[in-house]
Amino acid sequence: MTRRLVTCVIVGLLAVVAGAWAVADDEQQAATRQVWELIRQSRSLVLEGNLEEAEAALLQACTLSPDYAEVYAHLGYVYELREKPAQALHAYAELLRRRPKHEYAASRLEHIFYEGTFPRAVFLEDLKFSPVHFVVDHCRLTINDQPAHDRQDVTIAYTDDLLFHEEMEREGPPVEIRVPASPSGATALVNRSNYGFVGDSLKAPLEMKFVLSYPSRLISLHQTDYRKVAPNIIHLMLRAQVYFAHYLGKLPPIEPPVKTSLLEDGPPGAESYGSELFFYSAHIPRTPVEWARQVGHEYGHLVLPPVGRYMEPESWANGMLGERLFIQWLAEEAQAVSGEPWPEPSAVALLNGLLGEDAEFDAVSYLEASCYADMQLWHQLGPDASHIAGTGEESMRYWLGLMLWIQASLGKETLREVIDSAPGTSPSDFLYALKVVLQQQAAAGAIHLAVGGLDVEKSRLSTAPAQGALGWREVTLSPGDSVRLAAYIPGGIWQAQMAPHASGLEVTFDGRGPLPVDSTTGLSLGAVNEGWHTIEVSNRDGIVQLHTIELELTDTL
């Protein structure tokens, strides 16, 4: 009895399953027939010139049957007709994902990459089907002094294949371009190109930001092969683009890509001319840090406001600021990726390997000679020095020191706000903007002053602080030690607290003190007049790590 019941149940279940399979089969066949009909409609629409409707029909077919491979061939063709190369690439890549040996899709990718204008956008996931080799890397950003582990790294990709200049016709002559540095209007020939892309989202395509053109060894005046140099330059340019866009919100004043040329003519160095960048005397070897300096300098001229005018060493200070910030941010990224603070060996080694093995970057020496020297000059001359209105080299370095001090003491976001809110492009406009920004921060509650911008010459420290990526690293205060900082404080009643909290600390404010700091409540500075002030933190006993002074506005005057 039981056996017969089980048998009946099994037979019944099989009948139900068979019926479900039949229904599923019918639904699949109906969907397939509908896909065929949509493809047929798209062909007719293409012949009629209704490309937008043809695209819509094929997209509907993809939705109905995502794994039906042939629909992507038709979709890619329509995208090509509509001059949407990124979407065409994506459609052919979808076809190759389903049929890896599909000859038509492979041939169309060859055509798109090698014939005519190089694609201005491409999806990251499609690069593995590209006939052109791409190098893919990622930029690890540091936001609010914290590595952005919880957000997607920015992707960069660049070609390192042998590619002809896109304006050259097949078997045609090299492209002739004017050399801006030549007073006689000389021209140079280029016939090779590299392309650089940036992608902020995995859902959106990588977009071309730079095209770098240069002469092949065959037409080189010095029989030099630049196929290793060119990818390194475009790699650095992509990182500069990511940093300046995300940290300062600065982009080139033109639609990308930015045209860049690596030329053998001209004096050693580089220049920005209009909206293009030029690197000269390409045959003369440069160290990695020199290439980075030149990239940051010219990109600074391109995206930062022109600050000046100075008589020397050049008219505008935005190039000098650009190179300093760029190399600082390279060091900061090496710190974030390695997990060790700059300049620990692992972080330095990571940056040394950025442009290949055995390519020592030596950013430590550059930062010391440029960034730290400029900040210390600013401290030596004083925050209210007349150099802010000067036109000589020392005055330019004074302004650079101010801007670097802002980043080291108040952070990248404050630096961005100062640059954005400056009412003009004279150096004093940025000092004015700083005061306005700090008044806004005070009204919002507090000013956070990091020890990164400390005055090292007027501090008394048993353990010398290390030169970090953007400023001095946290300070170790032994008994009897003191650290001095400059601060612009708006008028009001102020409270100061040390971070992290510690006992045994004292503060001398504008020469008044030392005053004990309560480890819990901090120290009342009382009524403070608006202006520049000095804060000296000293230690009575124990070992204290000092990172930040938190200044809180408790009342207005």
pLDDT per position as a tens digit, 297-314: 999 999 999 999 999 999
What's the Rg (C-alpha) of the chain?
31
CATH number, domain containing residue 88 = 1.25.40.10
Q: How far is CA 499 from CA 147, 496, 536, 545, 551, in A?
A: 20, 10, 14, 9, 11
Domain end, chosen from 265, 291, 317, is at 291
Average pLDDT, the chain: 91
Residue 327 lies in a domain: yes
Q: Can you tell me the distance from the alpha carbon of 238 to that of 344, in angstroms, rounded to the nearest whole number? A: 25
Q: Can you tell me the distance from the alpha carbon of 440 to that of 434, in angstroms, rounded to the nearest whole number? A: 10
Q: Are 285 and 370 found together in one domain?
A: no
Residue 419 lies in a domain: yes
Q: Are 312 and 236 found together in one domain?
A: no
Q: Are 458 and 421 found together in one domain?
A: no
Lowest mean pLDDT of 1-10, 71-80, 321-330, name the range: 1-10
Residue 7 lies in a domain: no
Q: Can you tell me the distance from the alpha carbon of 147 to that of 334, in angstroms, rounded to the nearest whole number? A: 11
Q: Is the pLDDT confidence value at 147 over 80?
A: no
Q: Are 229 and 273 found together in one domain?
A: yes
* Residue 286 domain boundaries: 132-291
74-118 pLDDT, tens per residue? 999 999 999 999 999 999 999 999 999 999 999 999 999 998 889
Domain end, chosen from 89, 115, 141, is at 115
Q: Are 458 and 490 found together in one domain?
A: yes
Residue-level pLDDT at 11: 36
**3-state DSSP assignment of residue 363:** helix
State yes or no: cis peptide before 343, omega within 30 of 0.
yes
The residues, any chain, with a CB within 8 Å of residue 373's CB and separated by 6 or more, are 397
What DSSP designation does 255 have?
S
Please name which of 319, 343, 318, 317 lies closest in space to residue 330, comparing C-alpha atoms. Answer: 343
Q: Are 431 and 475 found together in one domain?
A: no
Domain end, chosen from 291, 326, 341, is at 291
Q: Are 103 and 169 found together in one domain?
A: no
Lowest mean pLDDT of 25-39, 174-188, 399-413, 513-527, name the range: 25-39
31 — pLDDT class (breaks 50, 70, 90): confident
Residue 91 lies in a domain: yes
Residue 125 lies in a domain: no
Residue-level pLDDT at 149: 55
Residue 84 lies in a domain: yes
Q: Are 32 and 171 found together in one domain?
A: no
Displacement of CA 463 from its chain's centroid (Å): 34
- 546 φ, ψ to 5°? -110, 130
Residue 412 lies in a domain: yes
133 — pLDDT class (breaks 50, 70, 90): very high
Q: Which amino acid is at 536?
A: E
Q: Are 79 and 176 found together in one domain?
A: no
Residue-level pLDDT at 202: 75
Q: Can you tell me the distance from the alpha carbon of 61 to that of 406, in angstroms, rounded to the nearest whole number? A: 56
Q: Is the pLDDT confidence value at 21 over 80?
A: no
Total of domains in the chain: 4
Higher pLDDT, 257 or 143: 257
Please name which of 79, 137, 136, 82 lies closest in space to residue 109, comparing C-alpha atoms. Answer: 79
Residue 354 lies in a domain: yes
Residue-level pLDDT at 145: 67
Q: Are 327 and 428 found together in one domain?
A: yes
Q: Are 395 and 449 found together in one domain?
A: no
Q: Are 146 and 274 found together in one domain?
A: yes
